[in-house]
Structures are given as structure tokens and as C-alpha cells.
Amino acid sequence: MNKRATLKDIARETGVHVSTVSRALDPKRDTPLSEDVVVRVRDAAERLGYRPNRIASSLRTRKTMTIGVVIPDITNPIFPPIVRGIESVMEPRGYASIIVNTDSQRGRDKRLIEILLDRGVDGIIHTAVLLEDPTIVKVARSGLPVITLNRKIEGTGIPYLINDEEDGIRKVFSLLYNHGHRRIAHLAGPLELSTGQLRLDAFRKAATDMGLDSGALAIAEAEQFDEQGGREATAKILAQDPHTTAILCANDRLALGAIDHCAAVGLACPDDISVTGFNDMPFLDMIPPRLTTVRIQQFEAGAAAAGLLVKMLSGQGGDVPGETILPVQLMERDSVSAPRADGIRS
Amino acid sequence: MNKRATLKDIARETGVHVSTVSRALDPKRDTPLSEDVVVRVRDAAERLGYRPNRIASSLRTRKTMTIGVVIPDITNPIFPPIVRGIESVMEPRGYASIIVNTDSQRGRDKRLIEILLDRGVDGIIHTAVLLEDPTIVKVARSGLPVITLNRKIEGTGIPYLINDEEDGIRKVFSLLYNHGHRRIAHLAGPLELSTGQLRLDAFRKAATDMGLDSGALAIAEAEQFDEQGGREATAKILAQDPHTTAILCANDRLALGAIDHCAAVGLACPDDISVTGFNDMPFLDMIPPRLTTVRIQQFEAGAAAAGLLVKMLSGQGGDVPGETILPVQLMERDSVSAPRADGIRS
DNA sequence: CGTATTAATGCAATCGATTGCATTAACGGT
DNA sequence: ACCGTTAATGCAATCGATTGCATTAATACG
């Protein structure tokens, strides 16, 4: 109904000029003002229920106090905690976030970033997923503060924050190895996605480090990071090497699919075959057999990335490390055991 | 680096006035313009990579093409699909969304809505949770388009969209009844939250409709909508009536907690006691015993609510029904069976 | 051919807050 | 008492797009 009060209203009310009102209300003002005026202005502002018009302010200052958050899909359970982590840092500092979902589609990425830029976001946190993201690189080059999460884009100077996935893969690999597994297969995610590629590389590296010939191990790429993708790729793995005793999966959902397919062909987990996941998504520990997996600090990663962005936004870009790596944690549960001694499996 | 092109740049480039440029670029312009100018302007715009400054536009037109979405908590798995549903409608129409999480806390509600208003959102979709939400009512009264989702606030004229929860509760209640259960308990959610209250009311109604004395049935209120809340409340229920044969829970997580507590005291589900959930959250069907529950159309609800909001935003508020109810679906799985005939339980 | 229309475009105010510069008043120093 | 400071505030431009009104040019009409 009755529109919001503006500086002009307060000016009229107090008899001073709008610029004076503006200064009186500015918490970190540099110009000296008489105590009297400040009090009167604050008073009037209070009385009229004044709230600054951020749009007008943004137009003038070129700051919207809004950031963009680019994620693949909020319905993927690993992202909500990340988002909350980001907001736990941004909101207290007066920033709002606009979240966009790319669904890992090339075209959308560009379109959505444009939406963010149109709205004048002050910075972007990008949980990059595609191996190539030319759009975000261009944006960062143009001077907008950008942080990538879960993904480094080489040679661009964009600060990135990642979980120590390489270490995570190494941990599960070692666990399987120490249980006696040697024919360890990798169920990779879509290699077009950075997560898929990264974890595959880490798998190969871990295998080599343990003295196995990574070329001899069965590897199959899932088309999607979901149960169906896991089922299909598992079939391929078992075809490649029927004597596989363990499948190291690129994420939890793939692992669930793997277990499902194995069960369908008569292989029980972990008795006949061991399976591991990655991410430790919510409720995972309630689904049998409780999956041995790697826990990633989603919330903390979001919060840390936001912390970096805040620094960049406040002009302390120099203080931002180019690389931040968060530790991961092995979660040993029930989906891993020693390979069958009898070697019954055909 | 090189800042964005503005109307002024295009004007200089083409030799016409900025206002003419503005009109030439306006898809639904009313003023007649010569084809020649339009072409030249479009050309120049293209060439300069012109993108309108939405901030400036917003200041003048008082439309930000941004909406606010208020939810309790995005990490609660029922909300991501709702959010995606909303965006599936809003984004193609040029709207961005700012999502805020209230954590069901009174104070935050107000503060967050203020954040949205400060940013000049054109409308709000509010998945109200508290029984009383004076803030959002006031906002709606001030003329801003508001839709509430999952909750009606009586007598305010705010259009609301709800799932037919009453019908859902009735369906599970009937199912239990038809299996032979008579001592059916209700594990309610926090009654401060509308969902908790609503489902309790529906439970009582269903009981009465089936000819049971709802006053005689065990009812316990959980402090939180989570597993721990479910466990604690289940203890209370079993204390109230040790002969309870079925627990109808206000949501899935409470049900998981209930089953957990029952198992801890030696009651197997469904053999010793039947348990039902509500919501059918993601991955629920992978957690044993697969919970019989009520599926709510989260995505569709979000999309439908957004559809209503869009109508209001485009000035067709008159066409928006005050009430929209989406059907729910009973998902029969494994957590319900007939009560033990032997009545062994102490 | 003069005037009334209409088409095409320019002008300038506006949205509300911010900020460099100008102005005024008060004060201190010598 | 005079001048240089500094304190306190006003002035006006600015951010970029939009839009009612004015203006000019072109066309139609009688």
C-alpha cells in the first residue's frame, strides 16, 4: 500500500538535504556530521520504517550484495549442504545468493551465467562439473570474483577449493588392497564431468602406487551418476573381468547400482564382491549393505569457498590462496570384506 | 575489463537517441518505429554485445524479475524437488529466484523476508511452516503477490496450494485398519509446525471416521522432524500403550526413527509392529523395511505454485484460485502387515 | 494548397541512493 | 581583527533504462 520511505522522505521530515541523510545513515561515513543531525535522521528513519532501496544503491555503487551459485542439480543430495555452507557465510555478511542448476548441460551453463551477470552478481561460486567451462573462465577474466568448488581449471588463475579426492580414492583403494583384493575394478562416472575424470585418474594412480598394473584392471564408464548408470556399467565390468572381486565406484549412487546389479546376477555384497562408494551422501548409512565410502565435508567446503569469495569481494584478492584442499575421511562400513578364498566364482 | 555496452553506446553508434534505442529493443513496443532504425539498432546491439542493465531497468519499472522462495531447509530432501519445480516454471519466463532457509525459526522468518523485500522481489512463494506467520501475511496485505505452499493461512486471502494430506492420512489409516489394526498410534511432528498440526488433525478425523475413539489412541509429539525425534516419541507411545500394533508417523524420518527404536526394544517391523511414513522422500525405498508411505508430488507442487504466482505477477490475479489441492498417492511397501494374532506382546 | 492526422523520433524527467565538489559557518592562531 | 583551517552541510551529477510529452516530418484529406 503506502510505499516505502526514501531518503527524500527523511530529508523532508528532518529538514536536511538528502545527501546529508545518506551520510548520516552510512555506518562507516568519512564526512563529519553533527551529532544532532545524525540523531534526528536516525530517528526519522526509524519512525518512517525506512529501508534503503538496494536497487538504487546497486545502480550507483555497482554492488548488488548478491552472489551467484552455479551447481549441477540441487536435487542431488550432496549439494544442499554445500549451499547451506555457502549461505552460512554469505548471509550474515548481507549477501543473498541466486542458485542456478545447470543439469550438467553445456548450453545451460552459459545461459545461466548470463542470467547471473544480468542481475549484476558481485561474484560467483561455481561447482564446476564439465571438463571445459569456457564461459566461467571468460567471466573470471573479465574481473568478476569467481571461485570454483570441487574442480580446478588449470592455468586460469581462478582460485579453487577441492576436497582431497585423490587421497580419498587412495584410501579406499588401500583398504581394498589390504583386505586382499587385487582384481579391483573401477566404476567411473561420466568422463565428461570433472569428477568422473578426476576420480578415474586417482584410481589409476593409486593402482600404480600399489604396484598393480592399472591397464589390466577393469574400468567402465557410467553414462550417468545414478543407480541405472551403475547397473549398466557393472554389467560391463563383469563382462570385462568376471573374476573381479571388488568394485571401487566413483560415487555412492553408482555403488548402489553396482550392488543391485550384482545381486541380480547372484553376487552378494560383500560376501562375493566388495563395493565402495564416494561422497557419503545423507541416509546412505541406512541402506544395506552399509556402504564403505569416503566422506566429503560438503557444508565446510561451501563455507570455505564462500570465505574465499568474501575476501575477494572485499578487495583482499591477494590474500586468497590459489588452491585450497579439504581433507576427506574414509568411512568403513559393511560393503567390503576379504575376497572369497575358495575362488568359487566363475 | 571493458564494461558492458549501454543504450547510450548504441545510441552513439547508430546516431539516434537513447529513447529510440530503448524502444527499438523493446519487443512489445507500442510506438511505431521505422524498420530501418530498428534494424540498425538491433545490429549495433548485437555487435556491441549489448545486454540490458536489469538494475537500472528495475529501478525505473519497479520490477526485478526476481522472486523469493522461503523454505525451512534445503537439506530436507523434500524441498529440492519443490525448488526445481518452481524454477522449471519461473526460469523460462525470465525470473530468477532467491531461496532462503528459515530453519523453522521465528526470528529468521522475519529477517529473511526483509532481505527479500530489500532486494525488491516481485513475489514470494512461501512454504509456510509455522502455525502463525504474521510477517508474510503483512507482506501479502501490502500488495505483493504471495502464494503459500503446503499450508493455508486462514482468512487472509492468500492463495494457497497444498497436497491433499488429509486424504493421505486417511489412506494410510484405512490401510492399517483394513489390515486389522485397531490400536493405531500417531507419532506427530512438532505441533508448532503446520505440517505437524495438520496431520494430527487428519489422524484424529480419520480415526473418528473409522469408528475409533481417537481420544483413546496413543499420540506423541516429536520435538523435531527427524530420526531422533521419532525414536524419543516412539518410547512415549509404547509407554502410553504397550499394546500398540501400528504407528502412523507424520513423516518418513520420524518413521525411520520409530522403527529404529522398536528394533532396539525387540519389536520387529512389520512382524511385531506396523509403521507408516509420509512424504516418500528420495531413497526411502532402498532403506529396509521398505516403508509404506504417502507420496507427495513435490516437483509438481512447486511448478503449480509457480504457475499461480506467474499469473498474479502478470496481473491476472483474478484468475488465481484461492485454493489448489494436489492429489497424493499411497505407496504400499513392506512396513505394514496384520497385527500378530497371538497377541504375544506384553 | 492549407490543415488535420499520423508516423517517427527527440527531450527530459524519473526511479533512489551515492559522492566529489562547493559553500557556509565556526574556530583558532597570531 | 584578519586569515587559514576544519567542521558541517548543500548542490548537482551520476548510475542506465524507461516513458509521457513535445516536436518534426510526412501523408492524407477536402
pLDDT tens per residue, range A71-92: 999 999 999 999 999 999 999 9
Of B96, B282, B286, the CB nearest to A119: B96
Q: Which three cell numbers stand for residue B166?
A: 488429509
- pLDDT number for residue B1: 47
**Please, what is the Cα angle at B290 between B289 and B295, to 5 degrees?**
150
Q: What is the CATH number of the domain that holds A93?
A: 3.40.50.2300
Of A305-314, B29-38, B93-102, B112-121, minimum mean pLDDT range: B29-38
Q: Is residue B80 included in any domain, yes or no?
A: yes
DSSP per-residue string spanning B57-100: HHHHHS--SEEEEEES-TTSTTHHHHHHHHHHHHGGGT-EEEEE
Q: Is residue A259 included in any domain, yes or no?
A: yes
Covered bases, chain C (protein CB within 7 Å): 7-12, 14-21
Q: How far is A22 from chain B (nearest CA, A)?
A: 17
Q: Is the dihedral of CA B249, B253, B254, B259 positive or negative?
A: positive
Q: How confident is the model at residue A4 (pLDDT cuts 50, 70, 90)?
A: confident
Which residues have CB under 8 Å from B178's CB, separation 6+? none
Say how many domains are in chain A.
Answer: 3
Q: How many CA atoms lie within 13 A of A289 on its CB side?
A: 24
Q: Which residue of B has its CA nearest to A141?
A: B1
Q: What gap in Å lies between CA B249 and CA B202, rounded to an integer?
A: 12
Q: Are residues B99 and B206 in the same domain?
A: no
Q: What percent of chain A has a predicted confidence (pLDDT) above 90? A: 84
Of A1, A74, A256, the CB nearest to B142: A1
Q: Grid coordinates 549393505 are at which residue?
A: A289
Q: Are residues A236 and A289 in the same domain?
A: yes
Q: Is residue B338 included in any domain, yes or no?
A: no
Overall average pLDDT of the B283-309 stretch: 97
- pLDDT number for residue B346: 47
Q: What gap in Å lies between CA B315 and CA A168, rounded to an integer?
A: 54
Q: Is residue A57 included in any domain, yes or no?
A: no
Q: Are residues B228 and B316 in the same domain?
A: no
Q: How confident is the model at residue B243 (pLDDT cuts 50, 70, 90)?
A: very high
Mean of per-residue pLDDT scores for chain B: 93
CB pairs under 8 A between A and B: 99
Q: Are residues A93 and A206 in the same domain?
A: no
Q: How far is the CA of B9 from the C1' of C7 (A)?
A: 26
Task: Please state whether beta strands B329-331 and B293-295 pair in parallel, antiparallel, or not at all (unpaired).
Answer: antiparallel
Q: Are residues A292 and A308 in the same domain?
A: no
Q: What range defines the domain where residue B125 resides?
A: 63-163+298-327
Overall average pLDDT of the B242-268 stretch: 97
CA distances from B57 to A118, B16, B31, B63 (A): 11, 20, 19, 8
Q: Is residue A128 included in any domain, yes or no?
A: yes
- pLDDT number for residue B155: 82
Chain B residues 275-334 within 7 Å (CB) of strand D: none
- pLDDT number for residue A27: 83
Q: Check if the beta carbon of residue B200 is closer than 8 Å to that of residue B248.
A: no
Q: Are residues B214 and B187 in the same domain?
A: yes
- pLDDT number for residue A109: 87
Q: Is the CB of A18 under 7 A from strand D?
A: yes
Of A84, A91, A99, the CB nearest to B75: A84
Q: pLDDT tens digits, residue range A236-273?
A: 999 999 999 999 999 999 999 999 999 999 999 999 99
Nucleotide nearest to A26 (CA to C1'): C18
Top-confidence residue, A184 or B317? A184
Q: What gap in Å lies between CA B57 and CA A117, rounded to an integer?
A: 14
- pLDDT number for residue A32: 82
Q: What gap in Å lies between CA B344 and CA B346, rounded to an integer?
A: 6
Q: Is residue B346 included in any domain, yes or no?
A: no
SS3 A314: coil
Q: Grid coordinates 523395511 are at which residue?
A: B289
- Amino acid letter at A225? F
CB atoms A55 and B58 under 8 Å: yes
Give first-to-last CA distance, chain B, whole Å: 77
Q: Are residues B159 and B243 in the same domain?
A: no
Q: Is residue B339 included in any domain, yes or no?
A: no
CA distances from A60 to A55, A184, B1, B64 (A): 9, 60, 18, 16
Q: Is residue B336 included in any domain, yes or no?
A: no
Q: Are residues A239 and A270 in the same domain?
A: yes
Q: What percent of chain B has a predicted confidence (pLDDT) above 90? A: 84
Q: How far is A254 from chain B (nearest CA, A)?
A: 13
Q: What gap in Å lies between CA B62 and CA B57, rounded to an integer?
A: 8
Q: Are residues A231 and A171 in the same domain?
A: yes
Q: Check if the beta carbon of residue A104 is closer than 8 Å to that of residue A130.
A: yes
Of A51, A56, A256, the CB nearest to B59: A56
Q: Check if the beta carbon of residue B85 is closer than 8 Å to that of residue A76.
A: no
**Please, what is the Cα angle at B101 between A109 and B81, to 5 degrees?**
55
Q: How confident is the model at residue B345 (pLDDT cuts 50, 70, 90)?
A: low
Q: Check if the beta carbon of residue A259 is closer than 8 Å to that of residue A335.
A: yes
A190 membership: H or E segment, kind and range: none
Q: How far is the CA of A111 from the C1' of C11 (A)?
A: 36
- pLDDT number for residue B317: 72
- pLDDT number for residue A342: 65
Q: What gap in Å lies between CA A1 and CA A209, rounded to an integer?
A: 70
Q: pLDDT tens digits, residue range A311-330?
A: 999 987 778 999 999 999 99
Q: Check if the beta carbon of residue B141 is closer than 8 Å to that of residue B185.
A: no
Asked whether the predicted pLDDT for residue A290 surpasses 80, the reply is: yes
Q: pLDDT tens digits, residue range A273-288?
A: 999 999 999 999 999 9
Q: What gap in Å lies between CA B77 and CA A283, rounded to an integer?
A: 10
CB atoms B55 and A64 under 8 Å: yes
Q: Which residues of A touch B84 (CB under 8 A)?
A: 73-75, 101
Q: Which three cell numbers stand for residue A231?
A: 547397473
Q: Which three cell numbers stand for residue B21?
A: 534505442
SS3 A34: coil
Domain boundary among A251, A276, A296: A296
Asked whether the predicted pLDDT for residue B341 surpasses 80, the reply is: no
Q: Is the CB of A19 under 7 A from strand C?
A: yes
Q: Are residues B85 and B36 in the same domain?
A: no
Overall average pLDDT of the A103-111 stretch: 87
- pLDDT number for residue A296: 96
Q: What gap in Å lies between CA A87 and CA A75, rounded to an integer?
A: 17
Q: pLDDT tens digits, residue range B113-152?
A: 999 999 999 999 999 778 888 899 999 999 999 999 998 8
Asked whether the predicted pLDDT for residue B343 surpasses 60, the reply is: no
Q: Which residues of A touch B290 (CB under 8 A)?
A: none
Top-confidence residue, B295 or B318? B295
- How many beta carbons lie within 10 A of that of residue B8, not counting itself? 11
- pLDDT number for residue A33: 85
Q: How far is A211 from chain B (nearest CA, A)?
A: 37
Closest CA to B170 of B328, B333, B12: B328
Q: How far is the CA of B31 from the C1' of D30 (A)?
A: 29
Closest CA to B290 of B277, B303, B301: B277
Closest CA to A185 of A232, A237, A262, A222: A237
Q: Are residues B289 and B186 in the same domain?
A: yes
CB atoms B54 and A143 under 8 Å: no
Q: Are residues A203 and A247 in the same domain?
A: yes
DSSP per-residue string spanning B203-253: HHHHHHHTT--GGGS-EEE-SSSSHHHHHHHHHHHHHH-TT--EEEESSHH
CB atoms A54 and B118 under 8 Å: yes
> DSSP letter at A303?
H
Chain B residues 16-45 within 7 Å (CB) of strand C: 16-20, 23, 31-34, 36-37
Q: pLDDT tens digits, residue range A148-193?
A: 999 888 888 899 999 999 999 999 999 999 999 999 999 999 999 8
Which residues of A touch chain B, with CB atoms under 8 Å apart? 1, 51-56, 58-59, 64, 66, 73-75, 77, 79-81, 83-84, 87, 91, 96-101, 114-120, 141-143, 256, 282-283, 286-288
Crossing angle of helices A79-90/A298-313, nearest 10°? 40
